[in-house]
């Protein structure tokens, strides 16, 4: 017999999910929690309050939620979201709300919203900004989807959000459809562009002007105190100044290959599809693409006897 009932379910208790759950618990939101991975579940169980209800499967989770149900998904963006939704769907009914708090492509959110609408189930795409620390202490939340569904779940999310100086919670519905994930994607596109500009300025100072790492670190720190400052400039200063145990700049030892999770690319794809010019965001994505080809660079680095040198041509 399952008698415990809560207003919000949460599926996925990795770093982000656990921190949001702890934040919700701090604000008195009773939770039904479900995490497949034993180790992650154990860790979350040891940190979440005793009143947390633990589900063992999708049907169990759905049963323990007050109708209309609200379920927050904090699983890895992509196929895992589809899998969890497919498993959950038979146990939901019209009026229930799924909230996807992952780093999801807005196009996927729009597709899933349309698909779930056939059963009257709402999907709110929720962009969560602020990283781990934000999730735990006060994330910025950018939502998209049905306004009535949002109104029902918004109070719980507003309670855990960061607050502006005047106390306003940083928790807004940006519009219908996938607006929340779209805005989060654009936000990350800006971050890509700012990091690219920081990399270009580093290169200008290091290889153009020939500054030492320490001087570049001072420069970024100086800039951070001026109008161009911000968190990314601040951590750039820290990164550049960090030294390895042997005293050498750590940055010189970092493997020359930048990864990407996809959000900058999605912002560029959206720009192309919407007919909006976003060249500096695209530049940042292309620079990461070049960076990613480290295997090619290694293969080409060898000065074997058969390598051919080409001089600039008479065409120029």
201 binds a copy of itself (CB under 8 A): yes
Which listed range, 62-70, 85-93, 110-118, 208-216, lies at the site for a copy of itself (CB under 8 A)?
208-216
**How far, in Å, CA of 263 to CA of 269, rounded?**
10
Q: Which of 3, 38, 50, 307 binds a copy of itself (CB under 8 A)?
A: 307
Q: Which two tokens stand for residue 50?
A: 């005793």
Residue 56 sits at φ, ψ, to 5 deg, of -110, -10
* Cβ proximity to a copy of itself, 9 vs 223, nearer residue: 223
Binding of residue 107 to a copy of itself (CB under 8 A): no
Q: 30: which residues sit within 8 A by CB, 6+ positions away?
A: 6, 7, 8, 51, 52, 53
Q: Catalytic: which of 35, 114, 132, 191?
A: 191
Number of residues that bind a copy of itself (CB under 8 A): 110
Minimum distance from CB of 248 to a copy of itself (Å)?
9
61, 89 in Cβ contact below 8 A? Answer: no
Does the footprint of a copy of itself cover residue 119 (CB under 8 A)?
no
Task: Name the β-bridge partners of 126.
Answer: 143
Which of 39, 56, 247, 314 touches a copy of itself (CB under 8 A)?
A: 314
> Does 130 contact a copy of itself by CB under 8 A?
yes
Tokens of 237: 């200063």
* Known catalytic residue at 184: yes
Tell whether residue 158 is a contact of a copy of itself (CB under 8 A). no
Which one of 94-102, 116-124, 152-160, 175-183 is the stretch in contact with a copy of itself (CB under 8 A)? 175-183
Which of 97, 186, 213, 240 binds a copy of itself (CB under 8 A)? It is 186
C-alpha count within 13 angstroms, C-beta hemisphere, residue 56: 1
Residue 272, classed as helix, strand or coil, is helix
Helix (H, G, I), strand (E, B) or coil at 228: coil
Q: Which stretch binds a copy of itself (CB under 8 A): 45-53, 65-73, 115-123, 250-258?
A: 250-258
Would residue 234 show up in a list of annotated catalytic residues for this protein? no
274 touches a copy of itself (CB under 8 A): yes
Contact 104, 131 (CB under 8 A): no
Question: How far apart, in whole angstroms, are the C-alpha atoms of residue 268 and residue 232?
Answer: 21
DSSP assigned state of 205: I
CB of 233 vs a copy of itself, minimal distance in Å: 7
Instruction: Answer yes or no whether residue 231 interacts with a copy of itself by CB under 8 A.
Output: yes
Cα separation, 116 vs 118, whole angstroms: 5
Stretch that binds a copy of itself, among 25-33, 58-66, 112-120, 124-132 (CB under 8 A): 124-132
d(CA 214, CA 249): 9
* 247: contact with a copy of itself by CB under 8 A: no
- State the nearest-atom distance from the C-beta of 53 to a copy of itself, in Å: 28
For residues 258 and 242, what is the distance between their CA atoms, to the nearest angstrom? 18
Residues with Cβ within 8 Å of residue 22, at least 6 apart in sequence: 47, 48, 136
- Of 188, 213, 240, 249, the residue at the interface with a copy of itself (CB under 8 A) is 188
Catalytic positions are 184, 191
């Amino acid at each position: 017999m399952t008698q415990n009932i809560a207003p919000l379910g949460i599926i996925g208790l990795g770093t982000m999910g656990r921190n949001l759950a702890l934040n919700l618990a701090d604000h008195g939101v009773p939770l039904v929690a479900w995490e497949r991975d034993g180790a992650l579940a154990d860790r979350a169980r040891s940190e979440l309050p005793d009143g947390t209800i633990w589900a063992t499967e999708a049907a169990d989770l759905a049963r323990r939620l007050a109708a209309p149900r609200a379920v927050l998904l904090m699983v890895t963006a992509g196929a895992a979201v589809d899998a969890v939704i497919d498993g959950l769907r038979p146990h939901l009914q019209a009026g229930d709300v799924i909230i996807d708090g992952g780093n999801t492509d807005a196009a996927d959110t729009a597709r899933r919203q349309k698909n779930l609408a056939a059963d009257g189930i709402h999907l709110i795409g929720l962009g969560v900004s602020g990283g781990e620390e934000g999730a735990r202490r006060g994330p910025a939340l950018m939502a998209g989807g049905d306004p009535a569904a949002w109104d029902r779940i918004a109070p719980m999310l507003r309670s855990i959000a960061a607050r502006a100086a005047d106390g306003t919670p940083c928790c807004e519905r940006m519009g219908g459809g996938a607006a929340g994930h779209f805005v989060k994607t654009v936000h990350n596109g800006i971050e890509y562009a700012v990091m690219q500009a920081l990399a270009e300025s580093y290169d200008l100072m290091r290889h153009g002007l020939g500054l030492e790492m320490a001087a570049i670190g001072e420069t970024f720190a100086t800039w951070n105190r001026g109008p161009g400052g911000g968190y990314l400039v601040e951590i750039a200063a820290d990164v550049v100044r960090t030294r390895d145990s042997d005293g050498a700049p750590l940055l010189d030892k970092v493997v020359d290959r930048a990864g990407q999770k996809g959000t900058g690319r999605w912002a560029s794809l959206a720009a192309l599809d919407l007919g909006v010019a976003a060249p500096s965001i695209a530049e940042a994505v292309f620079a990461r693409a070049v960076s990613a080809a480290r295997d090619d660079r290694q293969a080409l680095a060898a000065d074997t006897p058969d390598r051919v040198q080409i001089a600039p041509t008479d065409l120029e």
